[in-house]
């Protein structure tokens, strides 16, 4: 019998030399130190503080307790968390519905026009958030531009209550986060092979079926990334709620801000911050399990 020929063993990756290991370590050190100092260390401090006790005059007593987390279950605070999730959900849904067609339009036009539209899309991010929010206050109040025009056209007898409610908060949130939703979806749509769309049409699929069976599944990573980049900031973004909500609606970001500033209850504020961080972690975990790429979140 002939001896079976031995197959060549697959070569593994060559071991890095000491110089290459040192180069890699030097390249990774700044980001590692930055993450340790400004992300990991503050979160560990918050987690530690969340188990402490509030003392007199806003001081902190280092007596371990679970009362801060039990307090979150109070119906008042549970309603705030529920309100935050509802507002963030509506904002995310409407932002995606508005942003996807816009991303598709930008991806289909010529490269020069696409670049110009992208710059115009990012332009609101170059303006101070306070200026933008004050402009919404002027636009939406009872004597603002919208109500004034509608009443002069005799379409209204009384001004609409467009300000200091959830409607104003959602409108402000959409304006602030629309660019963050459009960019990852634009990136996914731009990478889509037009030949697949043409093949779907040649096989007899209509526009709706082509979109549902081809376009949307292939661009879903960008949609998932847009959901994450919109939903997560909405939960904790308290400035829009303060200025456009007028204190009538509280979100978890407002509650955390007030605990650290007005109430001086740092342990409870830290517990709320940890809960918010856990919600964000779960969102990112679900995103990765659905096939999302974390690199798309930096688009």
Judge contact between 60 and 53, C-beta under 8 A.
Answer: yes
Judge contact between 268 and 71, C-beta under 8 A.
Answer: yes
Judge contact between 184 and 166, C-beta under 8 A.
Answer: no
DSSP readout, 192-220? S-HHHHHHHHHTT--HHHHIIIIIHHHTH
Q: Tens digits of per-residue pLDDT, 205-229?
A: 888 898 988 898 889 888 988 998 8
Report whether pLDDT(2) > 50: no
Which of the two residues, 295 and 99, has the higher pLDDT score?
A: 99
Amino acid 14: pLDDT: 62
Q: What pTM does this model have? A: 0.82
Provide the strand spans (E) within the chain. 53-54, 60-61
Q: And the tokens for 1?
A: 């019998």
Provide CATH code, domain 50-298.
1.10.3720.10
> Mean pLDDT over residues 15-27, rounded?
80
Amino acid 110: pLDDT: 80
> Mean pLDDT over residues 248-272, rounded?
89
> Mean pLDDT over residues 236-265, rounded?
86
Judge contact between 243 and 133, C-beta under 8 A.
Answer: yes
Amino acid 56: pLDDT: 86
Amino acid 49: pLDDT: 94
Structure confidence at residue 66 as a pLDDT band (50, 70, 90):
very high
Q: Tens digits of per-residue pLDDT, 72-92?
A: 889 988 888 888 889 999 999
Share of the chain above pLDDT 90, in %: 27
3-state helix, strand, coil in the chain (%, to 5): 75, 0, 25
Amino acid 292: pLDDT: 67
Q: Tens digits of per-residue pLDDT, 110-121?
A: 888 888 888 888
Report whether pLDDT(6) > 70: no
Residue 5's Cα: distance from chain center in Å?
A: 58
Amino acid 274: pLDDT: 93
Structure confidence at residue 249 as a pLDDT band (50, 70, 90):
confident
Amino acid 15: pLDDT: 67
Residue with tokens 């204190």: 247
Distance CA 92, CA 173 (A): 9
Packing angle between helix 129-140 and helix 238-245, nearest 10 degrees? 30
DSSP readout, 122-158? HGGGGS-HHHHHHHHHHHHSTTSHHHHHHHHTTS-SS
133-142, 204-213, 288-297: range with lowest mean pLDDT: 288-297
> Mean pLDDT over residues 47-61, rounded?
90
For residue 8, give Cα distances in angstroms to 5, 14, 15, 63, 189: 9, 16, 19, 64, 43
């Amino acid at each position: 019998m002939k001896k079976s020929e031995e197959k060549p063993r697959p070569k593994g990756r060559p071991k890095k030399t000491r110089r290459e290991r040192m180069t890699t370590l030097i390249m990774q050190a700044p980001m590692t130190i930055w993450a340790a100092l400004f992300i990991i260390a503050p979160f560990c401090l918050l987690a530690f503080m969340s188990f402490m006790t509030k003392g007199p005059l806003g001081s902190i007593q280092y007596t371990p307790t679970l009362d801060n987390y039990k307090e979150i279950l109070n119906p008042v605070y549970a309603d705030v968390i529920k309100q935050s999730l509802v507002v963030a959900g509506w904002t995310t849904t409407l932002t995606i519905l508005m942003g996807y067609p816009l991303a598709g339009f930008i991806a289909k036009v010529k490269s020069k026009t696409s670049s110009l539209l992208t710059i115009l899309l990012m332009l609101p991010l170059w303006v101070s958030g306070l200026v933008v929010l004050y402009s919404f206050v002027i636009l939406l109040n009872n004597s603002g531009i919208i109500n004034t025009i509608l009443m002069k056209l005799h379409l209204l007898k009384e001004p609409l209550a467009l300000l200091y409610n959830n409607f104003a908060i959602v409108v402000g949130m959409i304006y602030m986060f629309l660019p963050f939703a459009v960019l990852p979806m634009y990136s996914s749509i731009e990478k889509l092979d037009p030949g697949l769309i043409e093949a779907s049409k040649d096989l007899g699929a209509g526009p709706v079926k082509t979109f549902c069976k081809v376009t949307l599944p292939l661009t879903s990573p960008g949609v998932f990334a847009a959901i994450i980049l919109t939903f997560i900031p909405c939960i904790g973004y308290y400035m829009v709620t303060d200025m456009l909500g007028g204190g009538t609606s509280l979100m978890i970001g407002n509650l955390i801000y007030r605990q650290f500033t007005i109430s001086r209850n740092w342990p409870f504020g830290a517990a709320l911050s940890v809960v918010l961080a856990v919600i964000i972690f779960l969102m990112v975990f679900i995103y990765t399990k659905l096939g999302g790429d974390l690199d798309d979140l930096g688009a």
